[in-house]
Amino acid sequence: MRIIEGVALALGMIRAQKLKSFFGVLGVIIGVMFLITVVSVVEGLNKYMEEDFAKAVFGLNTLTVQRQPSVSFESDPEYWRAMWRRPRLTLQDADAIEAGLSVPAIVGVASDGNGTIISEQGIEVSNVWLTAASAEFFTIRDYEIERGRLFTAPEDRMGVPVVVLGWDAANKAFGALDPLGRTVRINGAQFRVIGVLKKQGTLFGMSLDNQAIAPSRSVMSRSVNPRGYVDNILVRPNVDTDLEQARMDIEAVMRIRHQLRPGEDNDFAIDTAEDSLSFWQTIKRILLIAFPGLVSIALVVGGIVIMNIMLVSVTERTREIGLRKALGARRADIMWQMLVESATLSGLGAAIGIGIGLALAKLVEAVSPLPAAISPFWMAVATIMGVTVGVVAGFYPASRASRLDPVVALRQE
Amino acid sequence: MSAADPVIRTEGITKNYVLGAETVHALRGVDLTVERNEYVAIMGPSGSGKSTFMNVIGCLDTPTSGKYWLNSQEVSVLTDDQLARIRNKEIGFVFQTFNLLPRATALHNVELPLIYAGVSQKERRERAAAMLERVRLEERMLHRPAELSGGQRQRVAIARALINNPAILLADEPTGNLDSQTGIEIMALFEELHAAGQTIVLVTHEHDIAEHARRTITLRDGVISSDVRRIAAVI
């Protein structure tokens, strides 16, 4: 008997016993549902981390020199004390790196902080992400201007108190007024607004547009760091393939400046967006390996329930099986029919689970900052898992059905 | 196989059942030959072994000893799957309780043996429809058993039994669940099939049903106690 007929027969059976079938596949539905929900969110996060997060926070093809690595899972307090004993980076370090590079590259500095800006009208905008940066910072980060202009390298060198606002910060501080040429007070110091950045959106629900960027030598530096110190030195080679060479040049320059002996560890970190993502790759791998494992426990339970349903079904249909045998069904035909029925049942459960799982993932996306991505690969995996559960669970009942003696089966009432 | 070969030939068929510590001898050596286009009734009181004998003839059961040739092929030596094929191709069963699939239409019920014969869907539809026409149920093809009368159900079952053009039509108390008028209609249909050349073996304990057959075999305690041939049936 061909598979389509078997499936049609099974669907007829399921339609006739909707409630029983539903409870029978509940385990499979729940297992698949969770698998799809979690995988959709993990895949969504992954896309997000690789495409948006990395670019927004670290910049593409950019080396970031820092006192400490940007991501660390170390919990040993001794490790952290060592980290905090490391020397801070300075503007002179940045100049030395620029001079020491053997490949063409843009070098900039940026230090971050947090503060409140107050407009001329007295409107306060709190929790603004403050950056004291060199003029190259905009090029390195691919920041684009919406209105006005960016500050220039000479303005940075002289520490002119000008500021470029993010779209949200400008909007909140000035509303309908044109912010260009107006002044804002940032942690007490006055700045003239010269530009507004293009809208960039959010990251994990956090606005990327609630920011203010001023020259690194301006009074802004006091809001973020003690005088002369910087948080990050950014190096973006003009040619992407020069990244490794640039990394080696930076390491050499910094080791000399920090007077490290051969064999001594670096007391600074050089990160790329890819390095920072490696921690995420680890988490993702663990999630994608561990979760299907957990789901398979639910599927085993689901399979046991299906096996019971099928055993009951075989008992109820003893007479039908006897009849089919009398009409010429071989053992293999009966076996096949029952297996297809069991697989159809659990396959249907998997399909329902996928549907609910996708809906849940969309719901998670709607009510939380976590994104969701639909993955055809995992939908296929879930379907195969579901059908496999049906086949495995149906095997024993099917073999029992196929071994029924037609004489005895036909006599059954 | 020539036309003169018997359809059924059995030699010394015995069948024993073990029930607990006791062995029941259901058949104690049955020798029977049924020629092509015979119309045979097998009679006997309950416990006579007639049901067991019918199961052996229908290849649902294998004898403990003895030999059975169906259409000159020795079936007492066949495997399970080979027996399934024989049941599918050579034997048409008609049961007392009809044994139709309750959720399937008349058409699908008649198609069922063709599915196991591996016939394509299109051909199945055509042949099943033609067979339902032959038992005068062309108006009821898409009805389910619950929507049919007892006589109509039995006619669906007969159409199903004949769909693979079997060597024998094996009917077990075919009128047992029908009122007498409907029973007469079904027996008239059997008469018609017999006239068209069908070999029929009828198992019954009712004399007036057995009288439709041309030959009556009576089983008693697992052996044939009488074998009577008539010239013409009483209709």
Residue-wise burial string across B154-176, b where 16 or more C-beta atoms lie within 10 A, e elsewhere: bbbbbbbbbbbebbbbbbbbbbe
Mean per-residue pLDDT of chain A:
87
The shortest CB-CB distance from B84 to any of A1, A12, A325 is to A325
| A/B interface, count of CB pairs below 8 Å | 56
Answer whether residue B3 is part of any domain: no
Tell me: the pLDDT tens digits for A121-176?
888 888 888 999 999 998 888 888 888 999 999 999 898 999 999 998 998 888 88
Tally of structural domains, chain B: 1
Q: Is the pLDDT of residue B64 over 90?
A: yes
Residue A308 distance to chain B (closest CA, Å):
23
- Nearest CA to A140 among A226, A236, A279? A236
> Residues of A at the B interface (Cβ-Cβ below 8 Å)?
1, 5, 12, 16, 319-320, 323-333, 406-407, 410
Cβ distance A326 to B112 less than 8 Å, yes or no, reads no
Question: Best of B95, B110, B115, B156 to disrupt the A interface by mutation (most A CBs within 10 Å)?
Answer: B115
CA-based angle A321:A327:A332, to the nearest 5? 60
What does pTM read for this prediction? 0.71
Q: Which amino acid is at A381?
A: V
pLDDT at B1: 46
Determine, yes or no, domain membership for B8: no
CA of A406, closest CA in chain B: separation in Å?
6
Is B22 inside a domain boundary? no
Q: How confident is the model at residue A206 (pLDDT cuts 50, 70, 90)?
A: confident
Give Cα separations from A343 to A94, A294, A332, A352, A411 (angstroms).
65, 21, 16, 14, 29
Contacts of B81 in chain A (CB under 8 A): 330-332
Tell me which of A327, A335, A411 to substitute to probe the interface with B (most B C-beta atoms closer than 10 Å).
A327
d(CA A386, CA A382): 6
Phi (first) and psi of residue A263, to 5 degrees: 95, -25
Q: Which residues of B touch A406 (CB under 8 A)?
A: 60
Cα torsion through A86, A89, A93, A94, rounded to 10: 140
Question: Which residues lie below 8 Å from residue A292, measured CB to CB, with a gap of 6+?
Answer: A35, A381, A385
Does A323 sit within 8 Å of B99, measured CB to CB? yes
Helix (H, G, I), strand (E, B), or coil: what is residue A113?
strand
AA identity, residue A235: V
Residue B2 above 60 pLDDT?
Answer: no
Is B84 close to A328, i.e. CB distance below 8 A? yes
Q: Average pLDDT in the B168-183 region?
A: 92
- Tens digit of pLDDT for each residue in B206-231? 898 899 999 999 999 999 999 999 86
pLDDT of residue B4: 65
The CATH number of the domain holding residue B49 is: 3.40.50.300
B1, B14 Cβ separation under 8 angstroms: no
ipTM: 0.92
For chain A, which residues make up each domain, given as ranges?
Answer: 3-52+291-411, 63-271
The answer to whether residue B101 is domain-embedded is yes
How far away is chain B from the Cα of A2, in angstroms, using its nearest Cα? 9
With a cut of 60, say whether residue A1 has pLDDT above it.
no
Closest in B60, B101, B112 to A407, CB measured? B60
- Selecting from A5, A330, A406 the residue whose C-beta is nearest the C-beta of B60 gives A406
Question: CB–CB of A48/A369 below 8 Å?
Answer: no
Asked whether A171 and A198 are in contact (CB, 8 A), the reply is no
Q: What does the pLDDT read at residue A2?
A: 67
Q: How far does the CA of residue A321 sit from the closest CA of chain B (Å)?
A: 10
Query: Least CB-CB distance to B93: which of A1, A326, A329?
Result: A326
Give the orientation angle of helix B150-162 with respect to helix B180-195, to 10 degrees.
Answer: 20
Residue B17 touches partner A, C-beta closer than 8 Å: no
Alpha helices in A17-102 (DSSP H): 18-24, 26-48, 77-85, 91-100
User: Chain A closest CA to B114's CA: distance in Å?
Assistant: 9
Is B225 inside a domain boundary?
yes
Q: What is the mean pLDDT of residues A343-354?
A: 92
Distance from CA of B227 to the nearest CA of A (A): 26
Instruction: Kindly state the tokens that stand for B181.
Output: 């008028």
- Smallest Cβ–Cβ distance between A327 and the set B55, B80, B87 belongs to B87
Domain that holds residue B198: 36-62+79-229
- Check CB contact under 8 Å for A327 and B88: yes
Identify whether the C-beta of residue A111 lies closer than 8 Å to the C-beta of residue A216: yes
